[in-house]
Amino acid sequence: MAKAESEEYVEVEGKIVAVLPGTMFRVELENKHQVLAHISGKLRKHFIKITTGDTVKMEMSPYDLNKARIVYRLRNAHVNRGAPKRSFGPRRR
């Protein structure tokens, strides 16, 4: 289902403060306001991982400024996720 043209959203950026159950996140905006956010279907479909400390782009309704939808995870060069390096087994010669 496509987004209706009449619906208006406020785009904001924030930093993930806490990961909550059910793919919900506590996000702090630049003005120190915290909102409850969930991830969009595209992020679920493409298995985009979001952890504490990530910077994300969100859409908020002008009617409820306490909830948001995460639509994009911004690149964070300084965040170390601690992910293991991929190993494809021993090299063949």
Is the model's pTM score more than 0.75?
no
| pLDDT at position 86 over 70 | no
Confidence of residue 4 (pLDDT cuts 50, 70, 90): low
pLDDT score recorded for residue 61: 93
Q: Reply yes or no on domain 10-73 having CATH 2.40.50.140.
A: yes
Q: What would the two tokens of residue 82 be?
A: 């601690």
pLDDT score recorded for residue 75: 81
**pLDDT tens digit string along 27-77?**
999 999 999 999 999 999 999 899 999 999 999 999 999 999 999 999 875
Measured in degrees and rounded to the nearest 5, phi and psi for residue 57 equal -105, 135
DSSP code per residue over 19-61: EETTTEEEEEETTS-EEEEEE-HHHHHTT----TT-EEEEEEE
Q: Domain limits of the chain?
A: 10-73
